[in-house]
């Protein structure tokens, strides 16, 4: 479950680059997002006192004795690993994932884990493990130490089995697609020359090109125009037409940054005055409904050849 967090930066989790989080409906630039408050981003540091990070419950238990944990780890490798896995997420012999087990999550000092080790769950297939009380407590301490490293939103501490490269596409087919659909705006010897050298991670490259390039979250007022700059023309009742870069638009106001550096805001009431937004990126967004995943993978395979 994840409640939408419209104002938060949390939606960027997992992105290694800053892609705009919201390409606007009518071709406007993203509205600068207000700063996320700590309460909306549990991973953010608070203004003092203990702060939230990672798995809060894991933070509640005091850290264990390192030597006891190390001893427990050794014993776990001997007696538990076969069924519960080296990473505690379950093993080939059918033992369940311990990281999400109620017993492991709630255990404080072995009071919940130890009885299971000693055989309280033989009915459901967990055998009694013949180890001493001290060793059992050490295993419990080790399990707690790993549970404490669970990430936010239940993410396991480590990847169980890493994914292979994302590059599965056909570069030849990707080149053909590029020539057919992209070459009216882009060129492998022009704007995309060396793109794969500039963005070396194929996953990042794919994300960036599908999104239509790296975009800033805040409007670069005063910055240089780019091919992605959204412009707007406002036809005033007086007959005057005002054109410039779009700063902000909604149903009621439109703000334009003119070539001479002045910024003008106009009141809007439905179709008065007439406002036309020109967003060069619209074509990119429209394509998202057209691409197949194979098209995307093929084009990525082609783009990584543009070293």
Question: Among residue numbers 77 through 96, which ones bind other proteins (CB under 8 A)?
Answer: 85, 89-90, 96
Whichever of 60 and 74 has its CB closer to other proteins, that residue is 60
Q: Is 296 helix (H, G, I), strand (E, B) or coil?
A: helix
Could you tell me if 304 and 176 are in contact, meaning their C-beta atoms sit under 8 angstroms apart?
Answer: no
12-41 binders of other proteins (CB under 8 A): 12-15, 19-26, 28, 31, 34, 37-40
Nearest-10 Cα torsion for 190, 194, 200, 205: 20
Could you tell me if 226 and 241 are in contact, meaning their C-beta atoms sit under 8 angstroms apart?
Answer: no
201-240 binders of other proteins (CB under 8 A): 203, 206-207, 210-212
Whichever of 50 and 260 has its CB closer to other proteins, that residue is 50
List the one residue out of 40, 31, 50, 32 whose CA is nearest residue 9. Answer: 40
List the one residue out of 107, 80, 78, 106 whose CA is nearest residue 94. Answer: 80
Whichever of 73 and 89 has its CB closer to other proteins, that residue is 89
Could you tell me if 150 and 156 are in contact, meaning their C-beta atoms sit under 8 angstroms apart?
Answer: yes
Report the nearest approach of other proteins to the CB of residue 299 (Å): 12
Element (H, E) at 104: helix 102-106
The residue from 80, 98, 105, 205 that contacts other proteins (CB under 8 A) is: 105
The residue from 62, 132, 252, 262 that contacts other proteins (CB under 8 A) is: 252
Whichever of 71 and 142 has its CB closer to other proteins, that residue is 142
Q: Is 254 helix (H, G, I), strand (E, B) or coil?
A: strand
Piece in contact with other proteins (CB under 8 A), picked from 56-64, 128-136, 173-181, 187-195:
56-64
Indicate whether 50 belongs to the interface with other proteins (CB under 8 A).
Answer: yes
The residue from 49, 62, 237, 239 that contacts other proteins (CB under 8 A) is: 49
Indicate whether 166 belongs to the interface with other proteins (CB under 8 A).
Answer: yes
> CA neighbours within 13 Å on the CB side: how many for 71?
14
Indicate whether 168 belongs to the interface with other proteins (CB under 8 A).
Answer: yes
In angstroms, the CA 204 to CA 112 distance is: 44
Could you tell me if 257 and 270 are in contact, meaning their C-beta atoms sit under 8 angstroms apart?
Answer: no
Indicate whether 99 belongs to the interface with other proteins (CB under 8 A).
Answer: yes
- 274-278 vs 263-267, strand pairing mode: unpaired
Whichever of 124 and 189 has its CB closer to other proteins, that residue is 124
The residue from 62, 132, 134, 161 that contacts other proteins (CB under 8 A) is: 161
Indicate whether 46 belongs to the interface with other proteins (CB under 8 A).
Answer: yes
Piece in contact with other proteins (CB under 8 A), picked from 134-142, 234-242, 247-255, 259-267:
247-255
Binding residues with other proteins: total (CB under 8 A): 89
Could you tell me if 245 and 233 are in contact, meaning their C-beta atoms sit under 8 angstroms apart?
Answer: no
In angstroms, the CA 74 to CA 116 distance is: 19
Could you tell me if 235 and 241 are in contact, meaning their C-beta atoms sit under 8 angstroms apart?
Answer: yes
The residue from 250, 274, 276, 307 that contacts other proteins (CB under 8 A) is: 250
Report the nearest approach of other proteins to the CB of residue 232 (Å): 12
Could you tell me if 192 and 303 are in contact, meaning their C-beta atoms sit under 8 angstroms apart?
Answer: yes
Whichever of 167 and 192 has its CB closer to other proteins, that residue is 167
């Amino acid at each position: 479950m994840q409640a939408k967090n419209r104002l938060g930066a949390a939606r960027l989790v997992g992105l290694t680059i800053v892609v705009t989080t919201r390409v606007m409906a009518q071709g406007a630039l993203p509205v600068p997002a207000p700063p996320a408050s700590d309460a909306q981003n549990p991973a953010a540091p608070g203004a003092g006192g203990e702060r939230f990070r990672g798995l809060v419950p894991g933070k509640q238990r005091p850290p264990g004795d390192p030597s006891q944990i190390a001893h427990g780890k050794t014993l776990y490798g001997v007696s538990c690993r076969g069924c519960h896995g080296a990473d505690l997420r379950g093993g080939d012999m059918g033992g369940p994932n311990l990281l999400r087990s109620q017993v492991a999550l709630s255990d404080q000092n072995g009071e919940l884990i130890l009885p299971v080790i000693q055989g309280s769950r033989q009915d459901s297939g967990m055998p009694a493990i013949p180890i001493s009380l001290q060793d059992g407590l050490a295993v419990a301490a080790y399990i707690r130490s790993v549970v404490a490293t669970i990430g936010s939103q239940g993410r396991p501490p480590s990847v169980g089995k890493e994914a292979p490269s994302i590059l599965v596409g056909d570069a030849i087919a990707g080149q053909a697609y590029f020539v057919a659909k992209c070459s009216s705006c882009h060129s492998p010897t022009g704007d995309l020359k060396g793109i794969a050298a500039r963005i070396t991670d194929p996953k990042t490259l794919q994300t960036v090109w599908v999104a239509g390039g790296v975009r800033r979250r805040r409007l670069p007022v005063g910055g240089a125009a780019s091919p992605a700059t959204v412009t707007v023309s406002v036809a005033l009742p007086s007959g005057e037409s005002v054109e410039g870069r779009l700063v902000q638009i909604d149903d009621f106001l439109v703000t334009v940054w003119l070539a001479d550096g002045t910024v003008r805001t106009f009141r809007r009431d439905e179709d008065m005055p007439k406002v036309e937004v020109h967003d060069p990126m619209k074509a990119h967004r429209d394509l998202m409904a057209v691409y197949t995943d194979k098209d995307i993978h093929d084009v990525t395979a082609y783009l990584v050849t543009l070293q």
